[in-house]
Amino acid sequence: MLLGPALALSAILFSIGVAGVLLRRNAIVLFMCIELMLNAVNLSFVALAQVHGLGGQIMVFFVMTVAAAEAAVGLAIILAIFRHTQSVDLQNINVLQG
């Protein structure tokens, strides 16, 4: 039941996320793309739970929890970087250059 379309949607969302991470420079947007990828994975978990049992649905809760924590930490870091450099453009953040 809708497994194929659900996985397809998940793949599309994930690809958009990857493309966003690769191509965008704004840290906030990049962050949102990561969220998009996480949720694409969540969607495939839920879809596959129909076939393989409830484990996938439980995993989704874990992912959401971790994503929330990650969002908090990540936004805090971005905030700190912004205070330091007056910019959230990743192009300018390269202090670890070799």
Partner 1 sequence: MPQHSYGAIPWIGLTVLLPLLGFLVNGTLALVRPQAKRVVSLVGTGVLLASFIVAVLVVLQLRQETLIGPYTVTFWHWIVVDTLQIDFAFALDHLSAVMLLVVTGVGFLIHVFSVGYMREDPGYARFFAYLNLFIVFMLLLVLGSTVPLMFVGWEGVGLCSYLLIGFWYEEKANADAGKKAFIVNRIGDFGVLLAMFILWTSIHTLNFAVIAERAPTMLEAGGPVVTMVTLFLFLGCVGKSAQIPLYVWLPDAMAGPTPVSALIHAATMVTAGVYLVARTNVLFAMAPLSSTLVAGIGALTALFAATIGLRQYDIKKVLAYSTVSQLGYMFIGVGTGAYVAGVFHLVTHAFFKALLFLGSGSVIHAMHQAYHATHAHEDAQDMRNMGGLHRYMPWTFALMTIATLAIAGVPPFSGFFSKDEILAAAFARGAEHPVFYLFWGMGLVGALLTAYYMARLLTMTFLGDNRTGTAEQEHLHEAPWVMTAPLVVLGALSLAGGILNLPAFVGGHHALETWLDPVFEPAKKFSQLVMPHGSTELLLIGGAVVIAVIGLVAGIRGTLVRPIVVAKNAPAEMGFARVLFNKYYIDELYQFLIVSPIVGLSRLVLWKGVDQSVVDGFFVNGSAALMRGLGWLGSRLQTGQVGVYVILFLVGVVWILGSVLR
86 vs 97, which CB is nearer to partner 1? 97
Task: Write down the least CB distance from residue 28 to partner 1, Å.
Answer: 13
Residue 40 CB partners (closer than 8 Å, separation 6+): 10, 11, 12, 13, 14, 17
26 vs 57, which CB is nearer to partner 1? 26
Task: Write down the least CB distance from residue 68 to partner 1, Å.
Answer: 22
Separation of alpha carbons 81 and 77, rounded Å:
6
Separation of alpha carbons 70 and 6, rounded Å:
26
Q: Which residues of the shown chain bind partner 1 in the complex (CB under 8 A)?
A: 18, 21-22, 25, 30, 90-91, 93-98
Closest CA to 39 of 67, 2, 78, 20: 67
Q: Is the dihedral of CA 8, 9, 14, 20 positive or negative?
A: positive
15 vs 65, which CB is nearer to partner 1? 15
Task: Write down the least CB distance from residue 32 to partner 1, Å.
Answer: 15
16 vs 90, which CB is nearer to partner 1? 90
